[in-house]
Amino acid sequence: MSLFRKKDLERTLALSRGPGGLKKVLGPVDLILLGIGAVIGTGIFVLTGQGAVTAGPALTLSFVLAAICCGFAAMCYAEFSSTVPVAGSIYTYSYLTLGEVVAWMIGWDLMLEYGLAVSAVSAGWSGYFQSLIGSFDLHIPVALSAAPGARPGVPTLIDLPALLIVLSLTAMLALGVRESARANNFLVAIKVAVVLLFIVVGARHVEPGNWHPYMPHGLGGTISAAALMFFAFIGFDSMTSAAEEVRSPERNLPLGLIGALGICTVLYMLVTAIMTGIVPYAEFKGVAHPVSLALQYAHEDWFASFIDLGAIIGMTTVMLVMTFGQTRIIFAMSRDGLLPQRLSRLHPRFRTPFLTTWLVGITFALLGALVPLEVLGELVNIGTLAAFCLVSVAVIVLRRTRPDLPRAFRCPAVPWVPLLSIAFCGTLMAFLKPLTWIAFLVWLALGLIVYFGYARRRSLLHTAPQ
């Protein structure tokens, strides 16, 4: 059997619209807020300090470069997701256009990306949560405050807050996507309000002299920061994992993708411009809470608790959307036979992949609670950049193989926009560390072993009558 056998497009669309499909409950506002919920979190509250040290005040330009890269990819995602509104995002698109082995590898890659993101962010969430309640003189027992070995010399057993937050979000997702979307919308509104309040308060303390020199480390430093800051945009593509649950996907998916990306880019640029305008960029070195530092520098200490609250809510929505995206990728792979079939069974009442949701939630809740993790931002980045390259290739291939297919949204200037997407993504990947590439290739090699040892023989394309 060919490694590049492809799914039938018409049959895939019919399956998603049939009685075994997911409930269509999401509108354009839900999608935009889902995207903002996934994007604004660790990137803006934590990584901006490291980015400022790398690029200086030109960090705003780094965000523009990362956003342009994402924007080209967003155009490709918008065409594909509105044309083929099926769960699974780039995994499904690759299966339809590039073949089974490519789809399996990108699905395998996304499982690592989303899973590590949830586990690592849960540990960061726990730290902010404990900082917030500590301001009220409330403290969690030391043994339950961190993963074993996370604090040298301190006898910790488990990170209880990290465990409980992921399990709580898992329960919410298991009960239904409508309920999860409502909770996400509420939390995103609070998070954006905190960010806007920082912009209003911080703008009064900007010293323009801190923006000079604007590009202290040259163009190389700016591009290196863009490769890092790309992490801050990860998650906007997770909206396409919900394509099968979107009302009027031909209109709402493009609006959601482009709207969320545009809003987040403007907010990022404003926040970083104000941060580097208040604090000389070199002073962000080693700082884990750069936004809070800017306010302390401006003697606005009263606002520190609001920043902690914004970070907690920001990370909560990131975990919610990443867990959601993870379950939909596994659901799609299971429905194709590449993973055990029971993982694609829907709950008779909630119409959600109940078993998969809890399996994902429990696994990564325990990982975040028991294993001291560092946020492997570059490893997550390289997986996402690879996915963006593939969706760009897939748009070009589908235009050539199915020019007759109705497209509600058409990516402009094909093949040039997809080729620009590939070029930008490839450039950012080239600026990632060699160790990141090694880790990525090791994970992909493990994926090939699983594919040839299990998935290939159980694929529905393999077992179906010829």
**How confident is the model over 417-460, as pLDDT tens digits?**
999 999 988 888 888 788 888 888 998 999 999 999 999 988 98
For the segment 104-131, what is each residue's pLDDT rounded down to a tens digit?
A: 988 888 887 777 778 878 877 887 788 7
Per-residue pLDDT, averaged over 189-199, amounts to 88
Mean of per-residue pLDDT scores for the chain? 83
Any idea which of 239-248, 283-292, 332-341, 417-426 has the lowest mean pLDDT? Answer: 239-248
Any idea which of 46-55, 271-280, 287-296 has the lowest mean pLDDT? Answer: 287-296
Per-residue pLDDT, averaged over 271-276, amounts to 94
Neighbours of 346 (CB within 10 A): 18
Per-residue pLDDT, averaged over 49-64, amounts to 92
In the predicted structure, residue 287 carries a pLDDT above the cut 80: no
Identify the pLDDT of residue 358: 92
Sign of CA dihedral 278, 64, 70, 451: negative
Q: How many residues does the chain have?
A: 466
The confidence band for 18, taking pLDDT boundaries of 50, 70 and 90, is low
Residues facing 144 on adjacent strands: none
Identify the pLDDT of residue 372: 62
pTM higher than 0.95: no
Identify the pLDDT of residue 157: 87
Any idea which of 49-53, 368-372, 444-448, 458-462 has the lowest mean pLDDT? Answer: 368-372
**What percent of the chain has a predicted confidence (pLDDT) above 90?**
22
- The amino acid at residue 68 is I
Q: How far is residue 6's CA from residue 97's CA, in Å, rounded to a whole number?
A: 7
Identify the pLDDT of residue 288: 64
Per-residue pLDDT, averaged over 389-405, amounts to 87
Domains in the chain, CATH or no CATH each: 10-459 (1.20.1740.10)
Identify the pLDDT of residue 382: 81
Identify the pLDDT of residue 466: 46
**What percent of the chain has a predicted confidence (pLDDT) above 70?**
93
Identify the pLDDT of residue 100: 92
For the segment 290-304, what is each residue's pLDDT rounded down to a tens digit?
A: 888 888 888 887 777
Q: Answer yes or no: are the C-beta atoms of 298 and 169 closer than 8 Å.
A: no
Identify the pLDDT of residue 452: 93
Identify the pLDDT of residue 378: 59
Q: Answer yes or no: are the C-beta atoms of 92 and 86 closer than 8 Å.
A: yes
Cis geometry, peptide bond prior to residue 415 (ω within 30 degrees of 0): yes
Q: How far is residue 134's CA from residue 124's CA, in Å, rounded to a whole number?
A: 15
Burial of 349 (0-12, 13-18, 19+ CB in 10 A): exposed
Higher pLDDT, 57 or 243: 57
